[in-house]
Amino acid sequence: MNLKKGDKIAIVSPAGAVKRQQIETALAEIESQGYEPVLGRYALGEYQLGYGYSGTEEERIADLNWALNSEDISAVWATRGGYGCQHLLKHLSFEGFTQKPKWYIGYSDNTVIQSLILKHGYPSIHGQTLKTSSFGVIEEGYSQIFDILKGNFPEYSVENHSFNHPKDFKGQLVGGNLALIYALIGTPYSFSFKDKVLFIEDIGESFYSLDRMLMSLELAGVFDEIKALIIGGMTNMGTADDNPQYEHSFDDLAYEIIAHRIQKYDFPTVYAFPNGHIYDNRPLIIGREVEVSFGDKVKIAF
């Protein structure tokens, strides 16, 4: 699935609406790398139905099916997340995709699309979308995505965290946004968790909502099945009134709630990995084997 100069990258908005000026910088970066961004017909559309979608369900389905299955498209990059990707799952085709597999790039609400892509046997990039977020994104958040597109897979070295359960491991990475993992539990579109390394991140959830989602994963047997757990950004959790960490990327109380919920399990854990709704958002590869070792720092390699 490695890209070469001149390859076309489809730009889609499978969930929320986006303005062109919000993605201009990222489009220019794609062009500077020698690729051609091709906007879906409804990538800059807008449709209101209790939420600002980029289009009707039919329009968003049409755009994504075009992007996934077109012979002349070499990768698919989501402009943003938000809400709406679940609408599309039953209607996506992979007939052309399996003939010409493509990297899919996105995170947040895109977690459900990445789950479905993995169920078809292909990896995807859980990384920065094209829309510039309010908290921005570190330069490496994009440059490391381009490295992956060229076939160069990342290696990371992150600080140890006091909640880590240090035990070296390797396994296939699954996961993404916790709210969407939770939303798919019990459906045919959920990840398989057996012997997998689960990654979770989230933004803007109350602390009891966080615990409710973790409880659902526990009741569904997820924590009995996984090999290890990696926790990324937990941003703006709780409210400004009850959480002095409200503007922090790695929320201490959220981490404490997670640690409390999984304390009876013996799988290794890595906290504060730089991926999620945070400035330092580094790409992960859903569906690829990840190898993690503990020492002075935590080494993570694909």
| Residues 161, 293 within the same domain | yes
With a cut of 70, which residues of the chain have pLDDT below it? 239-248
pLDDT at 248: 65
| pTM of the complete model | 0.96
| Residues 138, 165 within the same domain | no
Say how many C-beta atoms besides its own lie within 10 A of residue 3's C-beta: 20
* Residue at 252 is within a domain: yes
CATH number, domain containing residue 204: 3.50.30.60
Q: What is the pLDDT of residues 210-266, one digit of tens each?
A: 999 999 999 999 999 999 999 999 998 986 566 655 566 788 999 999 999 999 999
Distance of CA 137 to the CA centre of its chain: 14
Identity at 116, one-letter amino acid code: L
Question: Which range of residues forms the domain containing residue 198?
Answer: 155-301
* Residue at 2 is within a domain: no
Block residue for tokens 């510039």? 132
pLDDT at 274: 97
| Residues 140, 173 within the same domain | no
- Give CA–CA dist 13/17, Å, rounded: 7
Identity at 186, one-letter amino acid code: G
3-state secondary structure at position 178:
helix
Instruction: List, edge to edge, every strand of the sheet that includes 155-158.
Output: 155-158, 298-301, 289-294, 169-177, 197-203, 228-235, 269-270
| Residues 233, 140 within the same domain | no
Cα–Cα distance list, 116 to 84, 189, 241 (Å): 15, 6, 38
- Give CA–CA dist 185/53, Å, rounded: 24
- Measured at the alpha carbon of residue 207, what is the angle toward residues 231 and 125, in degrees to the nearest 5? 30
Answer whether 47's CB lies under 8 Å from 20's CB. Answer: no
Q: Looking at the 3D structure of the chain, how many domains does it have?
A: 2
pLDDT at 241: 63
| Residues 46, 131 within the same domain | yes
What radius of gyration do the chain's Cα atoms show?
18
* Residue at 1 is within a domain: no
pLDDT at 246: 54
| Residues 161, 53 within the same domain | no
| Residues 265, 211 within the same domain | yes
